[in-house]
Amino acid sequence: MSAPTGNPYARIDDLLSNVRNFKIIESTLREGEQFANSHYSTETKIKIATMLDQFGVDYLELTNPCSSPQSRADLETICKLGLKAKILTHTRCTIGDAKIACDAGVDGVDVVIGTSQFLREHSLGGKDMVAITKQALEVIEYIKSRGCEVRFSTEDSFRSDLVDLLSIYKAVSQAGVDRVGIADTVGCASPRQVYDLVRTLRGCVSCDIEVHFHDDTGCAVANAFSALEAGATHVDTSVLGIGERNGITPLGALMARMMPSSRDYVLSKYNLKMIKSIEDFVAEEVEINTPFNNPITGFCAFTHKAGIHAKAILNSPSTYEILKPEDFGLTRYVHFTSRLTGWNVIKSRISQLGLIMTDDQVKEVTAKIKAMADIRPLAIDDADSIIRSFHLELNNGEGQKGQSEQNGQNAQNGQVEA
Ligand SMILES: [Zn+2]
């Protein structure tokens, strides 16, 4: 187990942390089906399941087969594909749902029941915790008797009474449940709250701990990471985060977060070069664009623009990159056509174009590009044609000598942008 490199502030692992030993429960085919635009055909479900299996996720979670006849048929179809990933379905905590799930051929059943006062009053007809616990134990015993894995999760865990929560988790753990689940169903939790709850729970149960975070307040990735630090073992994700409302922890963004912390583990398990094709496929299916600021695959995720950034990147990419684009089968792009550009970047471009100039000449043409970029946005072709015509002038003996000092000064002025 090697310490993370390159970050002097990185914490030394404690014994609780599972940052370097976690599993993914991929829920694009369950949570993702709750996304506003989702309407998967059977073929699409098979394609998504197959791609995610090749990517290396540990589990695939599918929609409750009781939802509709097609949902049930599709679950049965995917169970028969012979994938390496275990197939789960997500059901209400009732014997009726559990029976249909087990009959479909799943490896495990994820049962969920509301424990917050809101849900007990408004969704469960006022059931008390004694009745909820009794029901949970019956369903767990039934699923185990069918030879399936079983996870028991509360819903809206962070707005449930802590004593109620710990009592029911302890009871189901003693009954032999494989995992207990914490679900931030409304997306209200902060990373510190997550750390505290998971750490407390870790001391109360002996089984695995699964976590499920909604992204209403933008904390879904941070909360998942915090949960792993506190001893959670399994994280729920979906491709691009699609799910109910604005969704859950995105698979790709979680990978981006885990790479600096557990690079060797991630590379040994997951086929990161598939992230882009998986995201592109799902984005097209649900008719969305990948956000510009998406980790790894946003169009500018590996684009460097400011002169001083670009200069350092050309010398050593890790100066301004915590993630390496090549790990994901992608390439970096050094932006060289803006007013923020610097002569080192232009020098690199000149050599890409197969041209030769002295440093003073490079500084001179950089000043021309900056002057033009102050007037209007430049395309790559625009900048290239400024470079080429400047080079042509030099070869025709018309290059202006003596201006390089002043122009070099101009270039330097433009490089302080960071
Ligand atoms: Zn959810």
Give the residue among 215, 358, 372, 364 at the shortest CA–CA distance from 294: 215
Query: 336 C-alpha to center of ligand 1: Å?
Result: 43
Query: 127 C-alpha to center of ligand 1: Å?
Result: 22
Would you list the DSSP string of 307-366? HHHHHHHHH-GGGT-SS-GGGGT---EE--SSTT--HHHHHHHHHHTT----HHHHHHHH
What is the reported pLDDT for 309?
83
CA distance 19 to 103: 35
Query: 33 C-alpha to center of ligand 1: Å?
Result: 11
Query: 346 C-alpha to center of ligand 1: Å?
Result: 48
The residue type at 150? V
Query: 178 C-alpha to center of ligand 1: Å?
Result: 20
Digitized pLDDT (tens) for each residue of the chain, 418 residues in all: 444 455 666 666 678 999 999 999 999 999 999 999 999 999 999 999 999 999 999 999 999 999 999 999 999 999 999 999 999 999 999 999 999 999 999 999 999 998 877 766 766 666 788 889 999 999 999 999 999 999 999 988 999 889 999 999 999 999 999 999 999 999 999 999 999 999 999 999 999 999 999 999 999 999 999 999 999 999 999 999 999 999 999 999 999 999 999 999 999 999 999 999 999 999 999 999 999 999 999 988 988 888 788 888 888 888 888 999 999 999 888 888 999 999 999 998 998 899 999 999 999 999 999 999 999 999 999 999 999 999 999 988 754 444 444 433 333 333 322 3
DSSP 290: P
Q: What is the dihedral of CA 185, 186, 187, 189, to 10 degrees?
A: -90
Query: 412 C-alpha to center of ligand 1: Å?
Result: 51
Whole-angstrom CA distances from 328 to 4, 56, 290 are 19, 14, 16
First-residue to last-residue Cα distance in the chain: 35
Burial letters 141-163, b for 16+ CB under 10 A, else e: ebbbeeebbbbbbbbbbbbbeee
| Contact yes or no for 13/39 (Cβ under 8 A) | no
Pairing of strands 59-62, 179-184: unpaired
As a whole number of Å, the CA-based R_g of the chain is 27
What is the reported pLDDT for 81?
98
The number of angstroms, rounded, from the C-alpha of 330 to the middle of its chain's C-alpha atoms is 16
What is the reported pLDDT for 238?
98
Give me 328's structure tokens.
């994901």
How confident is the model over 141-180, as pLDDT tens digits?
999 999 999 999 998 899 988 999 999 999 999 999 999 9
Catalytic residue among 212, 214, 234, 309: 309
Collapsing DSSP to helix, strand or coil, 244 comes out as coil
Query: 187 C-alpha to center of ligand 1: Å?
Result: 9
Query: 146 C-alpha to center of ligand 1: Å?
Result: 26
CA distance 91 to 66: 8
* Domains recognised in the chain with CATH numbers: 23-286 (3.20.20.70), 303-396 (no CATH)
| Contact yes or no for 214/220 (Cβ under 8 A) | yes
CA distance 309 to 200: 43
CA distance 252 to 297: 8
309 classed as catalytic: yes
Query: 72 C-alpha to center of ligand 1: Å?
Result: 20
Cβ neighbours of residue 294 closer than 8 Å, sequence gap 6 or more? 240, 250, 252, 253, 279, 301
CA distance 157 to 211: 10
Query: 200 C-alpha to center of ligand 1: Å?
Result: 22
What is the reported pLDDT for 418?
31
